[in-house]
Structure 1
Amino acid sequence: YKAESGEIFAVNPICTHMKCDVKWNTSEKSWDCPCHGGRFDCKGKVLTGPPAQDLEVVNLEQLIEKDNS
């Protein structure tokens, strides 16, 4: 997700509850899981359950460095 400020947030889009793929909800600016209704903010923090754990944050700088080496 890219905020209006230009800041980029990257998460692993796999729900921590039952491993379903989460989808970006543009109007709510949240990651939503279609399987059991879990919701996460743009940084991957749990907004509503059943997930008890946040989404895994992806470090884009490490990915870029890895691709360039």
Structure 2
Amino acid sequence: MGAHRRKCDWCGSGTPIVRDMDPVNPEYQYWCEECARALIIKGDPIETYRELEGEPIYGRLLDEHCTLKRFYSFATA
């Protein structure tokens, strides 16, 4: 399935912007912007991720909403 047809694994309707490269549950790897923001606000951000839209949308969400002092990894290829 192409990335443009995939839906968010959590809500089932949003277009994914980020992929969790080290998921606790492999059924939840792809996250839309709204669900990814909710994870960050809840205090459970994705730590090793790949941006899917070519823009650092998830990185900006981390900058805007994350107060935790952790190291995050942007996965390449």
- TM-score interval for Structure 1 and Structure 2 normalised by the shorter chain: under 0.3
The structure with the greater share of residues assigned to helix is 2
| Structure exhibiting the larger radius of gyration computed from Cα positions | 1
TM-score (norm 1): 0.21
TM-score (norm 2): 0.20
